[in-house]
């Protein structure tokens, strides 16, 4: 039943001219959970968010927020959602406080409620010191925080964040992640799009990877990494000659690759504990002493590369490997 989910999407299709932006995608997000929608630029992430937030009508399929249809009940949906888009949508000439009060008023809250909620959010998002300055004087991180606060002014039970940390410095990004984490622990259902695998890894309970408008993989971060990533035992040698010799020997344990100027051998393994012992024994038997050794756990970047044949934020100008669409 669709109402069991905070967000329910079935067979959603959107075309822009000849381009199929979304080709029949299905997504279900249980109440109080975080879905990470992951994909490269142009994959269809923003299109999906715009349909779910009533900004765009789908060509086919159905989308419901808390059981309400985004096409037939747009105002009911709008009253239940918060949206923070790719750019911080704040009025530059208004102060932080004025921005929040305006949105509070436009979400039809009594003036006293809007005022109290504004103060609460300014406090929570660490904007009190800048509350009475025009938003044009804010830093990028402050703008994003103000934008997120504006999306929360009417306490929406369902929140959409479209690439919330794109373009932010690492500190601001990590601050914002902290804030988003708090919201989620308050019970808000969140759909988050991102190109940053680290972001999805850190925030999302469930990850849906889309590419060219299709869902190509889904699961929890751990799930995806276990199934699609691989663990590497990395052994570094002082010279390339030794590394090459070692690589030939280590091929008995798993597929090897040379990196780091041909001084490091990576061995793909499944059970890293056992593999580590095997590697040590083998190197000892051929008397090849490594400089250092490390186990590298799979990252979502590996998963992404595996799935789409390119990195998550690969630019279109870059030549793409021929291994597209491995899924």
Site of interaction with other proteins (CB under 8 A): 32, 53-55, 66, 68-69, 72-76, 78-81, 83, 85-94, 98, 102-103, 105-108, 134, 150, 154-155, 157, 185-187
Best CA proximity match to 24, nearest among 213, 227, 239, 244 = 213
Pairing of strands 19-30, 206-211: unpaired
What minimum distance in Å lies between the beta carbon of 185 and other proteins?
A: 7
Q: Find the helix or strand (DSSP H, E) in which 268 lies.
A: strand 264-269
Q: How far is the CB of 220 from other proteins (least distance, A)?
A: 22
User: Please, what is the minimum distance in Å from the beta carbon of residue 102 to other proteins?
Assistant: 5
CA-wise closest residue to 143 among 120, 117, 119, 166: 166
- Least distance CB 83 / other proteins (angstroms): 4
Structure tokens given for 106 = 């436009």
- Collapse the DSSP code of 106 into the 3-class scheme (helix H, G, I; strand E, B; otherwise coil) and give the result: helix
Q: Are 173 and 163 in contact (CB under 8 A)?
A: no
Q: Quick check: helix, strand or coil at residue 171?
A: helix
Closer to other proteins by CB, 148 or 305: give it: 148
C-alpha–C-alpha distance, residues 36 and 48, integer Å: 12
Query: Which one, 108 or 171, has the nearer CB to other proteins?
Result: 108
307 neighbors 295 (Cβ within 8 angstroms): no
Of residues 134 and 311, the one with the C-beta less far from other proteins? 134
Q: Choose between 146 and 275: whose C-beta lies nearer to other proteins.
A: 146
Helix (H) or strand (E) holding 264: strand 264-269
Q: Residue 54 or residue 306: which is nearer to other proteins going by CB?
A: 54
Residue 184 or 208 with smaller CB distance to other proteins? 184
Q: Please, which residue, 53 or 306, has the CB nearer to other proteins? A: 53
CB of 161 to other proteins, least distance (A): 12
Helical axes 272-285 vs 240-250, angle rounded to 10°: 120
Q: Tokens for 9, please give them.
A: 């999407």
Residue 276 beta carbon to other proteins: minimum distance, rounded to whole angstroms: 43
Distance of closest approach, residue 303 Cβ to other proteins, in angstroms: 31
Instruction: Indicate the pairing of strand 19-30 with strand 5-16.
Output: antiparallel
Going by their DSSP bridges, the two strands 68-69 and 60-65 should be labelled as antiparallel
CB of 135 to other proteins, least distance (A): 10
Query: Which CB atom, from 32 or from 309, has the smaller least distance to other proteins?
Result: 32
Helical packing angle, 221-228 and 300-308, nearest 10°: 60
Helix (H) or strand (E) holding 21: strand 19-30
């Amino acid at each position: 039943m669709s109402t069991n989910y905070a967000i329910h999407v079935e067979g959603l299709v959107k075309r822009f001219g000849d381009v199929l932006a979304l080709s029949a995608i299905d997504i279900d997000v249980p109440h109080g959970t975080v879905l990470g929608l992951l994909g490269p630029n142009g994959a269809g992430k923003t299109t999906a968010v715009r349909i779910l937030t009533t900004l765009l009508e789908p060509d086919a399929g159905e989308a419901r927020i808390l059981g309400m249809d985004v096409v037939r009940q747009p105002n009911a949906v709008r009253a239940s959602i918060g949206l923070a888009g790719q750019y911080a949508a704040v009025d530059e000439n208004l102060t932080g406080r004025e921005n929040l009060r305006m949105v509070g008023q436009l979400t039809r809250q009594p003036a006293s409620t809007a005022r109290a909620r504004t103060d609460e959010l300014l406090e929570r998002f660490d904007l009190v010191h800048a509350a009475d300055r025009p938003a044009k004087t804010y830093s990028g991180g402050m703008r994003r925080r103000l934008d997120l606060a504006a999306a929360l002014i009417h306490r929406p039970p369902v929140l959409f964040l479209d690439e919330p940390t794109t373009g932010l410095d690492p500190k601001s990004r990590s601050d914002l992640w902290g804030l988003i984490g708090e919201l989620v622990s308050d019970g808000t259902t969140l759909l988050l799009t991102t190109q940053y695998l680290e972001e999805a890894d850190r925030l999302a309970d469930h990850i849906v990877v889309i590419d060219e408008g299709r869902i190509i993989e889904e699961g929890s971060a751990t799930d995806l990494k276990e199934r699609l990533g691989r663990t590497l035992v990395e052994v570094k040698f002082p010279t390339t000659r030794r590394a090459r010799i070692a690589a030939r020997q280590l091929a008995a344990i798993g597929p090897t690759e040379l990196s780091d100027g041909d001084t490091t051998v990576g061995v793909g393994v499944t059970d890293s504990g056992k593999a580590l012992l095997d590697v040590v024994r083998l190197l000892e038997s051929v008397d090849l002493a490594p400089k250092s050794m490390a186990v590298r756990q799979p990252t979502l970047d590996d998963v992404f590369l595996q799935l789409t044949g390119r990195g998550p934020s690969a630019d279109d100008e870059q030549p793409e490997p021929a291994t597209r669409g491995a899924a």
